[in-house]
């Protein structure tokens, strides 16, 4: 496993590329870089495996995912309420699935 530091320029910090180094030796450094707002990509056998990112980046990504989930759910409810999507009565689902 290897870590590639500075794989993508942070929004507010200077871009820093340090190359590929053994992951175990540089995890602490990657965490320090994340605390400074930098991102680090972890690779294994040349493939991107994970990322060490600032907490703010992870929170922002979660907020984007949540907003997307809400939009998809609202669209599905609109489709159901408009009659464009057929529904199956709960009793029929229970019967077909062998539920009580």
- pTM as predicted: 0.61
- d(Cα 41, Cα 10) in Å, to the nearest integer? 12
DSSP string of 9-22, one letter each residue: --SSS-----EEEE
- d(Cα 7, Cα 54) in Å, to the nearest integer? 14
Among candidate residues 58, 27, 60, the one with its CA nearest the CA of residue 42: 27
* Spans of all domains in the chain: 2-53, 57-97
Q: What is the mean pLDDT of residues 52-72?
A: 95
- d(Cα 77, Cα 44) in Å, to the nearest integer? 42
pLDDT digit string, tens, across residues 5-32? 544 444 545 334 444 556 566 888 889 9
CA dihedral in degrees (3, 4, 5, 7; nearest 10)? -140
Q: What is the mean pLDDT of residues 66-87?
A: 95
């Amino acid at each position: 496993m290897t870590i590639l530091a500075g794989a993508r320029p942070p929004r507010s910090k200077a871009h820093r590329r340090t190359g590929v180094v053994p992951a175990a030796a540089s995890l602490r450094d990657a965490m320090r870089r994340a605390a400074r707002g930098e991102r680090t990509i972890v690779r294994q056998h040349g493939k991107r495996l994970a990322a060490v990112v600032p907490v703010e980046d992870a929170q922002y990504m979660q907020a984007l995912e949540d907003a997307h989930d809400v939009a998809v759910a609202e669209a599905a409810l609109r489709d159901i309420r408009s009659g464009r999507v057929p529904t199956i009565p709960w009793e029929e689902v229970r019967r077909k699935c062998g539920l009580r």
